[in-house]
């Protein structure tokens, strides 16, 4: 047994640091076996795929070798709720019990952090309801005292509140180094802390977003690491399909039509040329959706084309979409519009 696996076994044993330092902890054979397998994989720079049943104690089984290894480790969870639980509850307990003096960091996507510039801009706006206006006042009061700007601190405001897009940034509207609040930016601070940490806790969405950015050659969000631990890894295939697959939906096509018509305002005599293809695309989309109404939400393309009316509407939709793209190709467009035309995103 290698050194890390041996130290991991000792840490989880009866009379070990976890049994002595954590109230209610008791050794579990399945947990020990999983922890040793994780330790061995980390030592050998190998890949381990493991399934642990309920009650195994898998969180401690990977935290103990990760903290004892001294390697930079990125731990990814399936949801933000699990991410917060791991970082604020489990990780501090295990680190204290082991006496590990490692730096840790919590990192989420930018939509989870307050943007102080957009907060200032929103102070002059009207809100759609009194409830949203009251929520905004709570955000203003909280902004004056928060240290991390993490929106999870405002648990009394729903995740789907229409207020959040007004006080958070996106990759498109972030001013970066030109922002007057750049030195106080919560996103930049969180990323700096992650770069300096030994253990970084993220979620699968952020991990895949980082991989997608690196694949495109546009930089990175996460620091490099010697080991990656993916908790709830069974969620990865579907999430990876979202990040690395290509998809085209009705909303994107309707957005293409709307943006196409909006661009005509800046090009003389263009409306008469674009209006027909744009409206035709919208109608073809409606007809195709109606023809597919009896199909399940997911299924093979062959099954869709087997329906009598679908191939005709499919071909008509495809032609309308191409016509709209061809007409738009004659003029320069903002990047967000031209990218939709090229990729269908």
How much is the pLDDT for 330? 38
Please say if the pLDDT value at position 184 is more than 90: yes
Q: How many domains does the chain have?
A: 3
Band of pLDDT at residue 252, cut at 50, 70 and 90? confident
Both 273 and 339 in one domain: the answer is: yes
Token pair of 25 as six digits? 């902890």
Query: What's the confidence (pLDDT) of residue 334?
Result: 37
Going by pLDDT thresholds of 50, 70 and 90, the confidence category of residue 345 is: very low
pLDDT band at 83 (very low <50, low <70, confident <90, very high): very high
Same domain, 29 and 98: yes
SS3 state of residue 106: strand
Is 84 found in the same domain as 116? no
Q: By C-alpha distance, which of 83, 90, 78 is closest to 106?
A: 83
In a domain, 209, yes or no: yes
| 210 and 65 within one domain | yes
Determine whether 231 is exposed, middle or buried from the number of CB atoms within 10 Å of its CB (0-12, 13-18, 19+): buried
Between the CA of residue 180 and those of 143, 172, 291, what are the distances in Å? 16, 17, 52
pTM exceeds 0.75: no
- What is the DSSP pairing of strand 73-77 with strand 199-203? parallel
Q: 182 with 202, same domain?
A: no
157, 222: one domain: no
What percentage of the chain has pLDDT greater than the value 70? 87
Summarised one tens digit per residue, pLDDT across range 214-225 is 776 656 788 889
Give the domain CATH number at 228: 3.40.50.300
In whole angstroms, give the CA distance from residue 290 to residue 10.
63
C-alpha 200/C-alpha 155 separation (Å) is: 23
CB 56 within 8 A of CB 34: yes
Domain limits at 257? 250-343
pLDDT band at 198 (very low <50, low <70, confident <90, very high): very high
Residue 335, pLDDT above cutoff 80: no
| Mean pLDDT of all residues belonging to the chain | 84
Rounded Cα gap, residues 244 and 122, in angstroms = 34
Is 168 a member of any domain? yes
CA distances (Å), origin 171, targets 96, 114, 282: 37, 14, 29
Q: Is residue 90 part of a domain?
A: yes
Tell me, yes or no, whether 192 lies in a domain.
no
- Asked if residue 255 and residue 235 are part of one domain, the reply reads no
Model confidence over 34-63: pLDDT tens digits? Answer: 999 999 999 999 999 999 888 899 999 999
């Amino acid at each position: 047994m290698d050194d890390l696996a041996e130290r991991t076994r000792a840490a989880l044993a009866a009379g070990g640091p976890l049994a002595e330092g954590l109230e209610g902890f008791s050794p579990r054979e399945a947990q020990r076996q999983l922890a040793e397998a994780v330790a061995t994989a980390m030592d050998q720079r190998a890949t381990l795929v493991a399934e642990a049943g309920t009650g195994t104690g898998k969180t401690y089984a990977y935290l103990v070798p990760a903290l004892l290894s001294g390697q930079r480790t990125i731990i990814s969870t399936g949801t933000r709720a699990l991410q917060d639980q791991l970082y604020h509850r489990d990780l501090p307990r295990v680190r204290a019990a082991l006496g590990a003096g490692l730096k840790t960091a919590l990192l989420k996507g930018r939509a989870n952090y307050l943007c102080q510039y957009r907060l200032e801009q929103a102070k002059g706006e009207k809100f759609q309801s009194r409830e949203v206006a009251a929520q905004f006042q709570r955000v203003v009061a909280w902004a004056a005292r928060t240290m991390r700007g993490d929106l999870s601190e405002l648990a009394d405001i729903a995740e789907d509140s229409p207020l959040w897009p007004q006080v958070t940034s996106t990759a498109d509207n972030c001013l970066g180094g030109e922002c007057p609040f750049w030195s106080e930016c919560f996103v930049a601070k969180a990323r700096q802390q992650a770069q300096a940490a030994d253990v970084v806790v993220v979620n699968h969405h952020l991990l895949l977003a980082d991989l997608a950015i690196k694949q495109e050659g546009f930089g990175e969000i996460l620091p490099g690491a010697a080991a990656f631990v993916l908790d709830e890894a069974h969620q990865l295939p579907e999430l990876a399909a979202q990040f690395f697959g290509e998809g085209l939906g009705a909303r994107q096509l309707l957005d293409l039509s709307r943006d196409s018509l909006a661009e005509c305002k800046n090009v003389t005599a263009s409306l008469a040329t674009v209006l027909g293809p744009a409206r035709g695309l919208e109608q073809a989309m409606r007809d195709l959706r109606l023809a597919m109404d009896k199909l399940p939400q997911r299924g093979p393309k062959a099954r869709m084309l087997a329906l009598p009316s679908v191939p005709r509407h499919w071909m008509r939709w495809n032609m309308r979409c191409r016509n709209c793209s061809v007409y738009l190709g004659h003029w320069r467009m903002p990047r967000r519009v031209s990218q939709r035309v090229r990729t269908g995103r």
